[in-house]
Structure 1
Amino acid sequence: MTTEPMTEPITAPMTEPTTVPITEHITDAAPEHENAIQAPGTPEPAWARWRGLDRLPRVTPRVVGGLVVVAAHPDDEILGAGGLLASVLDAGERVRVVVLTDGDASHPNGPIPPADLVARRIEESRRALAVLSPGGPAAEIVRLGLPDTAVAAHEAATIPALAELLAGYALCAAPWSGDLHADHEAAGRIAAGACAAAGVRLVEYPVWMWHWAEPADPRVPWERAVRIDLNPERVRRKQRAIGCFETQIAPLHPGLDDRVILPPEELAHFERSFEVLFR
């Protein structure tokens, strides 16, 4: 069953949640794992079969006054909010991307020196954002240089710094504070504190949730979830932008380090024709 898209802008004031029936499960509840991200994940076809995603309230990404997207690592901003970014850029609004870490711990003890990996990841993020804004100004990138895997240790100092970067903007999108990745959760808490200080509205985007959760998972705040539908052209741009992150979607050094952080089965969660946000 489908519903007509809602015309409510994403920056509209919060209202009582729309009733969305999400009790139907595709599979039995998955057992809890000590490390949910490393455990086997939920395949994209299971999410595609679940009608709960289609029943989510639709919102339109009209962001008058500019958007700040917070990312724990370079690529989070594209995976979780690339479609939102493209929509706001298309509308001619300013966009600032604040990347908390440079992602230098993605391949510990790998064959490429951390400084070289950082340079590659920064360039990947720059190219990806340029792909999202063909013919127009790309988003501004601000790097805070926090230590990868240790964002939580720097929350108190980062909240006022982010609040300053939010000044004058209308909306902030940040990783979901329940994403079960320590850096993502810390990023969500930092954004919440900064938005409260700056008086800026906050929405959260999930990333690893699509891996460890399952349809109708009670750990997910579905009552706060909304859906942004993307037109085919924006879907293509987002997919091309994801393809810029070669250090994450391909072996870093074939033959020496064959680890792939985001294999095709994980990327499938982010190649959809819609995005889900929590507000």
Structure 2
Amino acid sequence: MVNSKLFAQKPVDDGGTPESVWQQWQRPFPELDLSSCKRLVIVAPHPDDEILGLGGTALMATRSGIDVQIVSVTDGGASHPGSPTLTRAELEQRRRVESVRAAEELGTPVPVRLMLPDGDIRTHSNELAERLHEILAEAPDGTWCASTWRGDGHPDHEATGTAAAKACADTGARLIEYPVWTWHWATPEHPSVPWDRLHTITLPDDVRQAKTSAVQQFTTQILPLSDHPADQPILPPHALTRLLRTYETVFV
């Protein structure tokens, strides 16, 4: 399921597949049933992935009485290599603060931080699987673990998904996987995407607005750090448009 080459072939600045193309695609998908979920552990490779992928779902789950826990694998210090404005340590600090503010916007718990190295999760995949095992092993029946999809394209996203799948297999937690960068490099009916496994979660207007407000907290990712080329946004408007839909998606 490794799709990193497909992701690498479509730089973010090139725009990827426009949201208009996805909106014109008329393939229907079933709605995810959360009724059997008692605890939802959302695993994010970087601070913001939990919001971009499942922020609305996290809010809806919290409102319905589901115990939600966010696990941030890294502190996101590698998002702007070569930045003349912020050091890696300074960027990590900024991103930790941003994720706390985003959680406050949604009313979800502050993320648990594993502090593995951003950009090198694959090397630490065994450690990540073990630490997720510890988190999930303490969980009651009805625990779901939502991680970035193992085929999402970004190497950290795929490595996180693989580690989460192993932890779920070892603990009995139910694995669901959310795509983030898939919407950038893939196209409707792309053969590398398991569309038959896709489910949606419809977001009420107020939930979508809260998610949007949470995303706006990640200023280091959606705004330039400076005018320098190395400081440009990681999530330009065309990328955010694909992630701020009226629904969220998971593979089950």
Q: Give TM-score scaled by structure 1 length.
A: 0.83
Q: Who is 2:88 aligned against?
A: 114
Q: Deviations over 1:216-244 (max 9, x none)?
A: 11110001111111111111111111111
Q: Which amino acid aligns with 2:139?
A: G
Does residue 155 in structure 1 map to residue 125 in structure 2?
yes
Matches within 5 A, 1:237-256: 237-254=210-227
Matches within 5 A, 1:41-60: 41-52=16-27, 55-60=28-33
Determine which of 165, 168, 186 is the counterpart of 1:195: 168
Does residue 168 in structure 1 map to residue 139 in structure 2?
yes
Which range moves more in the overlay, 227-236 or 58-67? 58-67
C-alpha distance in structure 2 between counterparts of 1:220 and 1:268, whole Å: 20
Identity %: 43
The answer to whether the Cα contact below 8 Å between 2:43 and 2:71 also exists between their aligned partners in 1 is yes
Which range moves more in the overlay, 93-102 or 198-207? 93-102
Does residue 124 in structure 1 map to residue 95 in structure 2?
no
After TM superposition, give the deviation of residue 270 of structure 1 in Å. Answer: 1.1
C-alpha distance in structure 2 between counterparts of 1:107 and 1:37, whole Å: 18
Query: Cα 1:220–1:33, aligned 2, differ >3 Å: closer, same or farther?
Result: closer
The DSSP-based 3-state class of the residue aligned with 2:111 is strand
Q: Structure 2: any 5+ residue segments left out of the alignment?
A: none
Higher helix residue share: 2
C-alpha distance in structure 2 between counterparts of 1:220 and 1:181, whole Å: 14
Matched residue count: 242
Does residue 141 in structure 1 map to residue 111 in structure 2?
yes
* CA-atom RMSD in angstroms: 1.6
The DSSP-based 3-state class of the residue aligned with 2:34 is coil
C-alpha distance in structure 2 between counterparts of 1:158 and 1:228, whole Å: 27
Q: Deviations over 1:67-110 (max 9, x none)?
A: 10000000000011111101111113221111111100000011
After TM superposition, give the deviation of residue 255 of structure 1 in Å. Answer: 5.2
The DSSP-based 3-state class of the residue aligned with 1:228 is strand
Q: Who is 1:91 aligned against?
A: 64
Q: Who is 1:210 aligned against?
A: 183
Which range moves more in the overlay, 34-43 or 69-78? 34-43
Q: Give TM-score scaled by structure 2 length.
A: 0.91
Q: Which amino acid aligns with 1:122?
A: R
Query: Cα 1:245–1:34, aligned 2, differ >3 Å: closer, same or farther?
Result: closer
Determine which of 60, 66, 76 is the counterpart of 2:39: 66
Q: Which amino acid aligns with 1:129?
A: A
Q: Which amino acid aligns with 1:161?
A: R
If you compute each CA radius of gyration, which structure gives the higher value, 1 or 2?
1
C-alpha distance in structure 1 between counterparts of 2:44 and 2:10, whole Å: 18
Q: Who is 1:263 aligned against?
A: 236
Q: Structure 1: any 5+ residue segments left out of the alignment?
A: 1-31
The answer to whether the Cα contact below 8 Å between 1:86 and 1:132 also exists between their aligned partners in 2 is yes
Query: Cα 1:247–1:162, aligned 2, differ >3 Å: closer, same or farther?
Result: same
Determine which of 47, 50, 53 is the counterpart of 1:77: 50
After TM superposition, give the deviation of residue 256 of structure 1 in Å. Answer: 7.4
C-alpha distance in structure 2 between counterparts of 1:245 and 1:145, whole Å: 18
The DSSP-based 3-state class of the residue aligned with 1:248 is helix
Query: Cα 1:33–1:70, aligned 2, differ >3 Å: closer, same or farther?
Result: closer
Higher RCO structure, 1 or 2 (CA under 8 Å, sep 6+): 2
The answer to whether the Cα contact below 8 Å between 1:56 and 1:227 also exists between their aligned partners in 2 is yes
Q: Which amino acid aligns with 1:152?
A: R
C-alpha distance in structure 1 between counterparts of 2:244 and 2:6, whole Å: 26
The answer to whether the Cα contact below 8 Å between 1:63 and 1:171 also exists between their aligned partners in 2 is no
